[in-house]
Copies of this chain bind each other. A is one copy, B any other.
Protein backbone atom coordinates (compact mmCIF):
# COMPACT_ATOMS: atom_id res chain seq x y z
CA UNK A 1 0.00 0.00 0.00
CA UNK A 2 1.47 3.27 -1.17
CA UNK A 3 0.46 6.22 1.02
CA UNK A 4 0.63 9.70 -0.52
CA UNK A 5 -0.29 13.08 0.93
CA UNK A 6 -3.14 13.84 -1.47
CA UNK A 7 -3.76 17.12 -3.27
CA UNK A 8 -6.62 19.41 -4.26
CA UNK A 9 -5.29 19.05 -7.81
CA UNK A 10 -6.82 15.97 -9.37
CA UNK A 11 -3.88 15.64 -11.77
CA UNK A 12 -1.52 15.27 -8.82
CA UNK A 13 -3.57 12.44 -7.32
CA UNK A 14 -3.72 10.82 -10.74
CA UNK A 15 0.10 10.79 -10.87
CA UNK A 16 0.00 8.70 -7.69
CA UNK A 17 -2.72 6.42 -9.07
CA UNK A 18 -0.69 5.87 -12.22
CA UNK A 19 2.34 4.91 -10.13
CA UNK A 20 0.23 2.45 -8.11
CA UNK A 21 -1.03 0.93 -11.36
CA UNK A 22 2.54 0.54 -12.64
CA UNK A 23 3.66 -1.04 -9.35
CA UNK A 24 0.63 -3.34 -9.46
CA UNK A 25 1.74 -4.66 -12.83
CA UNK A 26 5.38 -5.04 -11.84
CA UNK A 27 4.75 -6.61 -8.42
CA UNK A 28 1.84 -8.89 -9.23
CA UNK A 29 4.00 -11.96 -8.62
CA UNK A 30 5.02 -10.78 -5.18
CA UNK A 31 1.94 -9.08 -3.73
CA UNK A 32 -1.65 -10.24 -3.91
CA UNK A 33 -2.83 -6.65 -4.11
CA UNK A 34 -1.15 -3.28 -4.62
CA UNK A 35 -3.23 -0.29 -3.50
CA UNK A 36 -2.85 3.43 -2.96
CA UNK A 37 -4.28 5.67 -0.26
CA UNK A 38 -4.15 9.34 0.72
CA UNK A 39 -3.68 11.08 4.05
CA UNK A 40 -5.67 14.15 3.04
CA UNK A 41 -7.72 15.75 0.29
CA UNK A 42 -8.24 12.61 -1.81
CA UNK A 43 -9.80 9.16 -1.67
CA UNK A 44 -9.41 6.43 -0.54
CA UNK A 45 -8.32 7.59 2.91
CA UNK A 46 -5.59 5.59 4.65
CA UNK A 47 -7.78 4.22 7.45
CA UNK A 48 -10.49 3.30 4.97
CA UNK A 49 -8.04 1.42 2.71
CA UNK A 50 -6.36 -0.34 5.67
CA UNK A 51 -9.73 -1.49 7.02
CA UNK A 52 -10.85 -2.71 3.63
CA UNK A 53 -7.72 -4.83 3.19
CA UNK A 54 -7.75 -6.16 6.75
CA UNK A 55 -11.47 -6.96 6.57
CA UNK A 56 -10.85 -8.82 3.29
CA UNK A 57 -8.62 -11.21 5.23
CA UNK A 58 -5.23 -9.94 4.00
CA UNK A 59 -2.66 -11.25 6.50
CA UNK A 60 0.09 -8.69 5.98
CA UNK A 61 0.03 -5.15 4.66
CA UNK A 62 3.32 -3.48 3.72
CA UNK A 63 2.99 0.32 3.81
CA UNK A 64 5.30 2.57 1.81
CA UNK A 65 5.00 6.29 2.66
CA UNK A 66 5.28 8.19 -0.63
CA UNK A 67 6.96 11.17 1.04
CA UNK A 68 10.38 12.69 0.52
CA UNK A 69 10.85 14.07 4.02
CA UNK A 70 9.66 12.76 7.37
CA UNK A 71 7.39 15.54 8.57
CA UNK A 72 4.40 15.29 10.87
CA UNK A 73 2.48 13.09 8.43
CA UNK A 74 5.14 10.38 8.27
CA UNK A 75 6.28 10.56 11.90
CA UNK A 76 2.96 11.00 13.65
CA UNK A 77 -0.22 10.77 11.58
CA UNK A 78 0.57 7.58 9.68
CA UNK A 79 1.84 5.54 12.69
CA UNK A 80 -1.29 6.60 14.58
CA UNK A 81 -3.58 5.37 11.81
CA UNK A 82 -1.68 2.07 11.77
CA UNK A 83 -2.07 1.75 15.53
CA UNK A 84 -5.83 2.16 15.23
CA UNK A 85 -5.97 -0.53 12.55
CA UNK A 86 -3.82 -2.88 14.67
CA UNK A 87 -6.30 -2.59 17.53
CA UNK A 88 -9.26 -3.25 15.25
CA UNK A 89 -7.64 -6.08 13.26
CA UNK A 90 -4.96 -7.68 15.49
CA UNK A 91 -4.66 -10.67 13.13
CA UNK A 92 -3.41 -8.45 10.30
CA UNK A 93 0.31 -7.65 10.34
CA UNK A 94 1.18 -4.08 9.36
CA UNK A 95 4.73 -3.32 8.22
CA UNK A 96 5.70 0.32 7.84
CA UNK A 97 8.62 0.93 5.47
CA UNK A 98 10.92 3.97 5.38
CA UNK A 99 9.63 6.90 3.37
CA UNK A 100 10.88 7.46 -0.19
CA UNK A 101 13.39 10.14 0.85
CA UNK A 102 15.41 7.41 2.60
CA UNK A 103 15.44 5.01 -0.36
CA UNK A 104 18.93 3.86 -1.14
CA UNK A 105 19.75 5.13 -4.61
CA UNK A 106 17.66 8.31 -4.54
CA UNK A 107 20.73 10.52 -4.27
CA UNK A 108 22.30 8.87 -7.33
CA UNK A 109 19.06 9.29 -9.25
CA UNK A 110 19.04 13.03 -8.50
CA UNK A 111 22.70 13.28 -9.36
CA UNK A 112 22.03 11.67 -12.76
CA UNK A 113 19.37 14.19 -13.69
CA UNK A 114 21.69 17.08 -12.79
CA UNK A 115 24.69 15.66 -14.60
Q: State the A residues within 8 Å of B (CB).
A: 4-5, 7-9, 11-13, 15-16, 19, 22-23, 26-27, 30-31, 62, 64, 66-72, 75, 97-98, 100-101, 103-107, 109-115
A75 to B13, CA, bound (A): 13
Could you say how many copies of this chain the assembly holds? 2
Please give 8 more A-B residue pairs, beta carbons under 8 A apart, in addition to A8-B71, A66-B68. A9-B72, A16-B69, A19-B101, A19-B107, A26-B107, A67-B68, A103-B110, A106-B109
| Contact indicator A22/B71 (Cβ below 8 Å) | no
Contact A70 B11 (CB under 8 A): yes
Closest chain-B Cβ to A76's Cβ sits at a distance in Å of 9
Across-interface contacts of A70 in B (CB, < 8 A)? 9, 11-12, 15
Q: Which residue of B lies closest to A113 (CB)?
A: B103
Bound together, the chains give a CA A27 to CA B107 distance in angstroms of 11
Q: How far is the CB of A65 from chain B (nearest CB, A)?
A: 10
